[in-house]
Chains A and B, each alone.
Chain A
Amino acid sequence: MSRALRWLFAGLVAAFLGLFLVLPMTSLVLVGFTGEPVDLLGHLVRADLSGLAGQLADQADGRYYVGFFETRRYFRGFLNAVGAAPLAAVLAWGSARLVLGLWGALGGTVPERIRRGAGLPLMALVFGAVLLAGVSWRLVVPAEAQQGHWMYDLAPSRSWDGRLWQILGFCPLVTLAATFLGGIVAWSVARTAMPGRNLVRWLCILPLALPPFLGALAFRNLLGEGGLLTRILEAVGLGTPFPGQSVVAAGIVQTFLFFPFVVLTTAAALERMDPSLGEAAEVTGARPGFSLWTVHLPMLMPGLSAGAFLAFIRSFGDFAVLSLLMPIGRPILVVEAYRDLAGSTDWGGASMLSTVMVLTILAVLALQKSFAEGGGFETVTGRGAGESGLVRTPWVCRACLATCAAILSVPVLFVAATLLVSLSARWGVETLPTAYTLSRYGEILRRLVAADSPLLNSFALVLPALGLALVLALAVAWTLARSRHWTRNLLDFATVLPFVVPGVAFAVALIGIFNGPPLALHLTATLVLCAYVVTRMPYAVRSILASLQQVGPSLEEGSKTLGATSSLTMARVTIPLILPGFTAGAIMVFISAMQDVAITLMVCPPRWYPASIFVFQRIQEGDVFDASAYGMVLLGLIMVPYALAWRLGGVRAGL
Chain B
Amino acid sequence: MSRVEIRNLVKIFGATPAVDQVTLEVGDGEFFSLLGASGCGKTTTLRCVAGLETPGGGAILFDGQDVARVPAWDRDCGMVFQNYALFPHMTVADNVAYGLMARRYRKAGFLGRMGWLARAVSACLPSEDLARVREALAMVELEGLEDRRPAQLSGGQQQRVALARALVIRPRVLLCDEPLGALDARLRVKMRQEIRRIQRRAGITTLYVTHDQEEALAVSDRIAVMNQGRVVQVGPPEELYLRPRTRFLADFIGLTNLFPADLAGPGLVRLREGPVLPTTHAIPPQGTFSVAVRPESLRLLGAGEEAPGSFTGRVQLRMFMGSTVKYVVASGPLEWTVAAPLASGVGSFAMGDEVRVGLQPEDLLVLEGTE
Contact = CB atoms under 8 A, between A and B. Distances in A.
B102 A280 contact: no
A285 B113 CA distance: 14
A116 B86 CA distance: 20
Given A112-B123, A290-B120, A284 B158 contact: no
Interface in B94-111: 98-99, 101-103, 105-106
A375 interface: yes
Contacts of A383: 83
A57 interface: no
A283 interface: yes
A129 B85 CA distance: 38
Contact of B117 (A274, A277, A293): A293
Contacts of A379: 88
A295 interface: yes
B62 interface: no
Contacts of A280: 79, 81, 85-87
Nearest to A119: B122
B33 interface: no
A493 B294 CA distance: 68
A381 B102 contact: no
A244 interface: no
A301 B99 CA distance: 22
Given A284-B78, A286-B102, A276 B85 contact: yes
B73 A287 contact: yes
B182 interface: yes
Given A290-B102, A290-B105, A113 B123 contact: yes
A400 interface: no
B99 A380 contact: no
B150 to A, nearest CB: 5
B85 A279 contact: yes
Interface string A257-296: 0000000000000000010110111111111011101110
B89 A298 contact: yes
A376 B149 contact: yes
B160 interface: no
A284 B51 contact: no
Nearest to B72: A282
Contact of A376 (B75, B89, B117): B89
A241 interface: no
B77 A283 contact: yes
Contacts of B52: 279, 282-283
A137 interface: no
A299 interface: yes
A276 B88 CA distance: 12
B106 A285 contact: yes
Which of A112, A120, A284, A294 has the largest count of B CB atoms less than 10 A from its CB? Answer: A284
Given A112-B147, A290-B102, A294-B121, A283 B50 contact: yes
A380 B81 contact: no
B152 to A, nearest CB: 9
A113 B151 contact: no
A281 B76 CA distance: 12
Which of B88, B99, B105 has the largest count of A CB atoms less than 10 A from its CB? Answer: B88
Contacts of B113: 289-290
Which of A117, A121, A277, A283 has the largest count of B CB atoms less than 10 A from its CB? Answer: A283
Nearest to B13: A388
A283 B124 contact: no
Interface in B124-165: 124, 147, 149-151, 158, 165
Contacts of A276: 81, 83, 85
B166 interface: yes
Given A284-B102, A284-B165, A380-B150, A277 B120 contact: no
A377 interface: yes
A621 interface: no
A142 to B, nearest CB: 36
B interface residue count range (under 10 / 10 to 19 / 20 to 34 / 35 or more)? 35 or more
Contacts of B149: 376
A58 interface: no
B35 interface: no
A276 B85 CA distance: 6
B88 A294 contact: no
Contacts of B32: none
Interface string A286-315: 110111011100110100000000000000
Given A112-B147, A290-B102, A293-B117, A283 B83 contact: no
Contacts of B50: 283
Interface of A is mostly: helix
B169 interface: yes
B208 interface: no
Interface in A354-396: 375-381, 383
A378 B103 contact: no
B150 A284 contact: no
B78 A377 contact: no
Contacts of B122: 116-117, 120-121
Which of B83, B120, B151 has the largest count of A CB atoms less than 10 A from its CB? Answer: B83
Which of A279, A295, A298 has the largest count of B CB atoms less than 10 A from its CB? Answer: A279
A282 B73 contact: yes
Contacts of B158: 380
Interface string A378-418: 11110100000000000000000000000000000000000
Contact of A116 (B85, B98, B123, B169): B123
Contacts of B91: 112
A381 B99 CA distance: 21
B77 A380 contact: no
A618 to B, nearest CB: 51
A285 B89 contact: no
B327 interface: no
B84 interface: yes
Given A282-B52, A286-B102, A378 B88 contact: yes
Nearest to A275: B85
A277 B73 contact: no
A299 B89 contact: yes
Contact of B73 (A113, A285, A295): A285
B85 A274 contact: yes
Contacts of B76: 285
B105 A283 contact: no
Interface string B220-232: 0000000000000
A283 B150 contact: no
Given A113-B124, A116-B122, A375-B89, A283 B147 contact: no
Which of B84, B98, B175 has the largest count of A CB atoms less than 10 A from its CB? Answer: B98
A294 B151 contact: no
Given A283-B52, A378-B151, A277 B87 contact: yes
Nearest to A280: B85
A276 B102 CA distance: 17
A360 B186 CA distance: 54
Contacts of A298: 89
B151 to A, nearest CB: 6
B165 to A, nearest CB: 7
A282 B79 CA distance: 10
B145 to A, nearest CB: 13
A281 B85 CA distance: 9
Given A282-B51, A286-B99, 4 more contacts: A121-B122, A280-B86, A293-B120, A380-B83
* CB-CB nearest 5 A-B residue pairs: A280-B85, A375-B89, A285-B102, A286-B102, A284-B99
22 contacts: A276-B83, A276-B85, A280-B87, A282-B73, A283-B72, A283-B73, A284-B169, A285-B74, A285-B99, A286-B99, A286-B102, A286-B105, A290-B102, A290-B117, A291-B102, A294-B120, A299-B89, A375-B88, A376-B88, A378-B88, A380-B83, A380-B85
